[in-house]
Amino acid sequence: MFAALAASTVATAQNTKPAEILTPSQAIANLRGLMNKRISVQGVLANQGRNYFTDRRLVLKDTAGSNESGLPVVVLVPLDAASSQGTERGAVPILADFLNNRVLVHGVIGEIVQKGVGKTIGLQADMISRAE
């Protein structure tokens, strides 16, 4: 029975097409079509708010420093080392490690809430990493 289950898992993994990685502008162009779907987006994480701690409006942009509005995103990572559960600095990535850098974000497109904006459609991230 275990062998059959393992073979089934391998067959499923072989038939599963890797998810396409979208740019923020591709995701924005098809927000309604992507609603409630899991996607991967690669872009530059930027804060369109005025303050890192009190007015944070994170977006993913195609390129750093562009004037585009960006794809709103909620990323659940600690803001500072103190909020990363007392681990050594660098052991747990914090938001500053990703901000203004090229990142790969995985998550679901849906309704999110951002300060100063309220409810909007964006990416609720469940995984983020620095892009190579």
| Residue 3 pLDDT greater than 60, yes or no | no
All domains of the chain in start order, with CATH: 19-130 (2.40.50.140)
| Alpha carbon separation from 70 to 27, 81, 89, 124 (Å, rounded) | 10, 27, 30, 14
Q: What percent of the chain has pLDDT over 90?
A: 54
- Structure confidence at residue 86 (pLDDT): 53
- Report DSSP state, residue 17: P
Residue 107 above 60 pLDDT?
A: yes
Beta bridge partners of 22: 41
Partnered with residue 43 across adjacent β-strands are 103
Span 22-31, pLDDT tens digits: 999 999 999 9
Nearest to 42 by CA among 57, 26, 21: 21
Here the tokens at position 31 are: 């927000």
Residues 94-112 have a mean pLDDT of 94
Compute the average pLDDT of residues 54-67: 87
Give pLDDT, residue 1: 38
